[in-house]
Amino acid sequence: ELADVPLVITGLSKKYKGSTDRYAVRELSFRVERGQVLGLLGPNGAGKTTTLRMLMGLIRPDAGGIRVFGQAIRPGAPVLSRVGAFVEGAGFLPHLSGRANLESYWAATGRPVEDAHFAEALEIAGLGEALERAVRTYSQGMRQRLAIAQAMLGLPDLLILDEPTNGLDPPQIREMREVMVRYAAAGRTVIVSSHLLAEVEQSCTHLVVMERGQLVVAGPTTEITGAGEQLLVSVEDG
């Protein structure tokens, strides 16, 4: 039943207007099942962000289909309420605590702070004591983690994280891996992009490796890191 499948992408292509004749994404197809943490892996310019922006309904593909829980994605599609996304550059009020910032964001979506989803999302995000401090005292990495927590607030069935480890230090990167694994444990689904295999291989159940807009290899992480090591090395060097 397609209505239970978080994501099915078929033949997705995108070429930016005014760019060269190169496709940013070309005939990309893959599928993500419930409970998976899928790593979208590839070097800079591989087309990861373009792919994620298409599946958030932010930009239109030139060709191909995107189905999220069986429903076609287009700007404003109702199914997008089941999708949460982290993209860099979320704005916070510096004088308010992390918690107060998330509460005001949550209240603006019209849902009560008493909602169990809110507390559970904070638990999963694992920010601990830092939540009570003013955001102006946060490091760049902490702000980023707060933005990721914000993306989780409604406990969306599909959580999309575009390069969430950019700018994080190694302990924060480890913590981020645990956050993703916790998030998906209840049958929710995570799609995370990265240009470093080392950042995703321990937390991702599955990988989709892209290069120059195209799929190189896709499958369970263990199969890919075993059989395709040469391939991945060449992708990371690129």
- Site of interaction with ligand ATP (CB under 6 A): 16, 19, 24, 42, 44-50, 195
> Which residue's CB is nearer to ligand ATP, number 49 or number 203?
49
CB of 213 to ligand ATP, least distance (A): 6
> Which residue's CB is nearer to ligand ATP, number 165 or number 189?
165
What one-letter code names the amino acid at 77? A
CB of 63 to ligand ATP, least distance (A): 16
Q: What angle do the packed helices 170-184 and 116-125 form, to 10 degrees?
A: 140
Residue 175 dihedral angles phi and psi, to the nearest 5°: -60, -40
CA distance 87 to 101: 17
Nearest to 64 by CA among 9, 125, 129: 9
CB of 176 to ligand ATP, least distance (A): 17
> Which residue's CB is nearer to ligand ATP, number 40 or number 127?
40
> Which residue's CB is nearer to ligand ATP, number 47 or number 57?
47
Residue 208 dihedral angles phi and psi, to the nearest 5°: -125, 115
> Which residue's CB is nearer to ligand ATP, number 89 or number 110?
89
CB of 190 to ligand ATP, least distance (A): 17
CB of 207 to ligand ATP, least distance (A): 14
Segment (H or E) for 96: none
CA distance 211 to 147: 28
